[in-house]
Amino acid sequence: MKHHDSLYIQGQWKKPHGTSSEDVINPATEAVIGRICMGDEHDADAAVIAAHGAFEAWACTSVSERAAWLQKIHEALKVRQEEIAQLISQEVGTPIKLSRFAQAGLPVASFQMAAEQLTTYPFSTTVGHSEVVREPVGVVACITPWNYPLHQIAAKVAPALAAGCTVVLKPSEVAPLNAFLLAEVIDSVGLPSGVFNLVTGVGPVVGEALASHPLVDMVSFTGSTRAGRRVGELASQTVKRVALELGGKSANILLDDADLSTAIPGALHACFINSGQTCIAHTRLLVPEARYAEVTTAVVNAIAGFMMGDPTDPKVNLGPLVSKLQRDRVRRYIEQGIKEGAELLTGGAEAPIGLDTGYYVKPTVFTKVQPEMSIAREEIFGPVLSIITYRTEEEAVRIANDSIYGLGGGVWSSDLNRAKAVARRLRTGQVDINGAAFNLLAPFGGYKQSGNGRELGGYGLEEYMEYKSMQLPTS
């Protein structure tokens, strides 16, 4: 059991002003595996003041100095990479094989990639008789979710530090133990005090205090669209910069020439990864009407190969949902889908046989789904797939784009040029063609109500920069 009773502020572990604490639950066993202290608005204020005080000196450090600090953090995290994977599998329920890659490998790599980005980033360019320089935006509040907790933290903290910003991190209270591990690492390498600060707490208290704080220059938030609207509303009062990565209802289009032997396993993986608790999960599968029977048979056969259970078992590829609240929410959506007339192909709202303990939901696939149904329009955030048929390519694109969201999507075809042409018509920030892998160097973010701004690679570094034009004399 890990017990964290202090916050990390001004380079020190400090007792919080807040007096409450929160248990951390293992979603596979329902056992308490940790307890954290919960900060309040006073703790948020102290962290912001520390970051504000440290900003000028940190912003003046050289690019090579900041790259060296990021490399130190990377190396210290790498030593603890297996510990991170095991920890997050216990916090979130992610199967250990996926956890080693996505929950540990990606965030560890993010700090090294941020250091590498600094070596090529154009901090100064000449435009006519002006020198245009890029400078750090200032104090950044990073508010992060529970589904890929350390990855989302690293995707914000690493480029913010690289840019020369100082940071206050508020992780999700549902899966916070990994954030304390990062703070331990940062403390161990000796990062200057105040440059990184950690305050735990709930969104309506600590999150809102950070979003509205006059000394916070930017908020980078990942979470629900509802919460993102609130962050934007509060941040607008001080006209601070806001980067939002919000919900999604991504469509995966199988074109009529798709190879189902690879497309169906790939489509199911893209939907059920991390038990569907993925913002870019491809939860709508659009299939040609003429291939409907073929697709449904392939889906049933492929799901039979899924193994649900203890996420620490390397053979398991489907773990529990993160909490009882989340499990119950997903089950309600499954029941709603049935009420609205969709048909269950496989799965359902009942507890999986033999898994009465833990927050498990069976991988569920609906057929005869109409685009206006709740399960086809709202983000469920669980292992629920809606199969929707179409007659023409034009109709498939129209259905895919008929959403308030625009985060991810997919296209499957034996003709790469045809797939790319369809992908260009999708109003989303990311499209996977034939199941292509995630790229840490490519920009990540959404259109429409999936948010604004981009993370990762040089595009993510850019988010934490301001432009300054210095007009120079011409003679």
DSSP string, 312-336: TSTT--B---S-HHHHHHHHHHHHH
Q: Both 166 and 204 in a single domain?
A: yes
CA triplet 307, 310, 316: central angle to 5 degrees? 30
pLDDT at 129: 97
Q: Both 31 and 168 in a single domain?
A: yes
Q: 283, 384 in Cβ contact below 8 A?
A: yes
Q: 347, 362 in Cβ contact below 8 A?
A: yes
**Segment-wise mean pLDDT, segments of 10 residues, the chain, 475 residues:** 96 96 98 98 98 98 98 98 98 98 97 95 96 98 98 98 98 98 98 98 97 98 96 97 97 98 97 97 98 97 95 96 98 98 97 95 97 98 98 98 98 98 98 96 97 96 97 92
Q: How far apart are CA 304 and CA 268, in angstroms?
A: 12
CA triplet 362, 332, 353: central angle to 5 degrees? 25
Q: Both 301 and 348 in a single domain?
A: yes
pLDDT at 246: 97
Q: Which helix H or strand E contains 401, and what residues bound it?
A: helix 393-401
CA-based R_g, the chain, Å: 23
Q: Both 299 and 430 in a single domain?
A: yes
Q: How far apart are CA 114 and CA 462, in angstroms?
A: 11
Please indicate, yes or no, if residue 445 is contained in any of the structural domains: no
**Angle formed by the axes of helices 292-303 and 260-272, nearest 10°:** 60
Q: Both 219 and 270 in a single domain?
A: no
Please indicate, yes or no, if residue 330 is contained in any of the structural domains: yes
Q: 100, 56 in Cβ contact below 8 A?
A: no
Site of tokens 């301001």: 466
Q: Both 265 and 199 in a single domain?
A: no
Q: Both 321 and 380 in a single domain?
A: yes
Please indicate, yes or no, if residue 444 is contained in any of the structural domains: no
pLDDT at 181: 98
Please indicate, yes or no, if residue 210 is contained in any of the structural domains: yes
Q: How far apart are CA 97 and CA 104, in angstroms?
A: 10
Q: What CATH number has the domain bearing residue 128?
A: 3.40.605.10
Of the listed 116, 173, 245, 379, which one is catalytic?
Answer: 245
What does residue 412 show for φ and ψ, rounded to 5 degrees?
-120, 125
Q: Which helix H or strand E contains 139, and what residues bound it?
A: strand 139-143
Q: Both 216 and 308 in a single domain?
A: no
Is-catalytic flag, 294? no
The domain in which residue 387 lies consists of 251-439
Q: Both 268 and 410 in a single domain?
A: yes
Is-catalytic flag, 142? no
- Going from the C-alpha of 202 to that of each of 278, 401, 412, the distances in angstroms are 21, 34, 41
pLDDT at 475: 79
pLDDT at 358: 97
pTM: 0.97
Q: Both 141 and 178 in a single domain?
A: yes
Of the listed 142, 208, 279, 379, which one is catalytic?
Answer: 279
Please indicate, yes or no, if residue 156 is contained in any of the structural domains: yes
Q: How far apart are CA 361 and CA 382, in angstroms?
A: 8
Q: Both 377 and 457 in a single domain?
A: no
Number of domains composing the chain: 2
pLDDT at 445: 97
Half-sphere exposure in the Cβ direction for 260 (13 Å, CA): 17
Q: Both 230 and 255 in a single domain?
A: no
